[in-house]
């Protein structure tokens, strides 16, 4: 009898050991933090991120976004393919206008085909992952197999792959929208449709009458830059943009004409090459 009891205890201990080994290894295999990105993606330039959507299922998020693009997000060239970014994507507004390819492979409704989105808003609560895209309903659904966009939205939070890409607005030139609070002593403008890097690190202003002095503007908020002066600005005004990362520049000469108006949009004849 004692021998039988010992054998049963031995068998139970062996079973507990096997179960413990399996559970520990299973937990390790499915821990997202331990995933090798290069093993998940076909190319090493893809990284992991979380993805959700906000607004209407087939909408453009919101026209009151933290970048300041307003209802332009629903129109070409943004065309509703936009996203709010968590802190590491929004970058306190410096990330506005950056373009990313995204794709999902974690759900049976995922097409696995990449789509391109632009950062046009901030997702203040998106801090669960290092990178998070709170996509428009349109952009979220674009990652789905055709006809299965509703099923994909029902999944809630997705794990996706993303990579930074150059923006290409297909012939669009840089547009400047003068802030409503601007006047002869204070000039502020929103910058949009910037090709290439998308992220602007510096905007400078030059006045008319043969001036060679470029005055650095301050980053105000979102995609808006501002400058305060002690004497009235002399138009037409030229604006020079510098990429945040590469330092490449482009000059929009005399883009703000004499008699400019607060709230008006002024289209330049230049953009960065891609």
Task: Give φ, ψ of 38 to 5 degrees.
Answer: -65, -25
Could you please state the CATH topology (level 3) that the domain comprising 47-164 is classified under.
Answer: Barwin-like endoglucanases (2.40.40)
Give pLDDT tens digits for 73-82: 999 999 999 9
- Indicate the range of 3-17, 110-124, 202-216, 260-274 predicted with least confidence: 3-17
DSSP H or E segment with residue 40: helix 37-40
Q: What is the predicted pLDDT for the residue at 42?
A: 53
Please report, for residues 36, 84, 119, 156, 263, the alpha-carbon distance to residue 222 in angstroms, rounded to integers and kept in the order given.
Answer: 34, 12, 10, 27, 16
Could you tell me the pLDDT band of residue 1, with boundaries at 50, 70 and 90? very low
Please report, for residues 186, 225, 227, 262, the alpha-carbon distance to residue 205 in angstroms, rounded to integers and kept in the order given.
Answer: 12, 10, 8, 16
Average pLDDT over residues 192-202: 95
Average pLDDT over residues 226-240: 97
Task: Give φ, ψ of 10 to 5 degrees.
Answer: -60, -45
Could you please state the CATH topology (level 3) that the domain comprising 175-267 is classified under.
Answer: Immunoglobulin-like (2.60.40)
Sorted by where each begins, the domain ranges of the chain are 47-164, 175-267
Is the per-residue pLDDT at 9 higher than 60?
no
CA pseudo-torsion sign 140, 141, 142, 144: positive
- Among residues 121, 119, 116, which one has the least CA distance to residue 63? 121
* Contact (Cβ atoms closer than 8 angstroms) between residue 47 and residue 131: yes
Q: What is the predicted pLDDT for the residue at 43?
A: 55
Mean pLDDT (the chain) is 86
* Contact (Cβ atoms closer than 8 angstroms) between residue 134 and residue 141: no
Q: Is residue 33 helix, strand or coil?
A: helix
- Among residues 273, 219, 222, 214, which one has the least CA distance to residue 246? 273
Instruction: Give per-residue burial for 230-239: e unless 16+ CB within 10 Å, then b.
Output: eeebebbbbb
Average pLDDT over residues 31-56: 65
């Amino acid at each position: 009898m004692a021998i039988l009891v010992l054998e049963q205890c031995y068998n139970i201990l062996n079973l507990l050991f096997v179960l413990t080994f399996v559970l520990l290894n299973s937990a390790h295999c499915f821990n997202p933090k331990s995933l090798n990105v290069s093993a998940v993606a076909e190319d090493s330039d893809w990284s992991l991120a979380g993805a959700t959507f906000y607004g209407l299922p087939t909408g453009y998020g919101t026209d009151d976004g933290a970048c300041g693009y307003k209802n332009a997000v629903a129109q070409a060239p943004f065309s509703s393919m936009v996203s709010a970014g968590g802190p590491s994507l929004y970058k306190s507004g410096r990330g506005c206008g950056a373009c990313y390819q995204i794709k999902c492979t974690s759900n049976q409704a995922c097409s696995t085909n990449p789509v391109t989105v632009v950062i046009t808003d901030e997702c203040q609560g998106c801090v669960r992952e290092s990178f998070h895209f709170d996509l428009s309903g349109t952009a979220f659904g674009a990652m789905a197999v055709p006809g299965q966009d509703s099923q994909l939205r029902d999944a809630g939070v997705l794990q996706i792959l993303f990579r930074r890409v150059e923006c290409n607005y297909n012939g669009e030139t840089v547009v400047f929208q003068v802030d409503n609070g601007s006047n002869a002593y204070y000039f502020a403008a929103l910058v949009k449709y910037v090709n290439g890097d998308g992220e602007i690190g510096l905007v400078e202003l030059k006045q008319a009458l043969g001036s060679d002095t470029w005055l650095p503007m301050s980053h105000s908020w979102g995609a808006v830059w501002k400058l305060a002066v002690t004497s009235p600005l002399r138009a037409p005004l030229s604006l020079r943009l510098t990429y945040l990362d590469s330092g490449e520049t482009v000059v929009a000469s005399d883009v703000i004409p004499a008699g400019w108006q607060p709230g008006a949009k002024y289209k330049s004849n230049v953009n960065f090459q891609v």
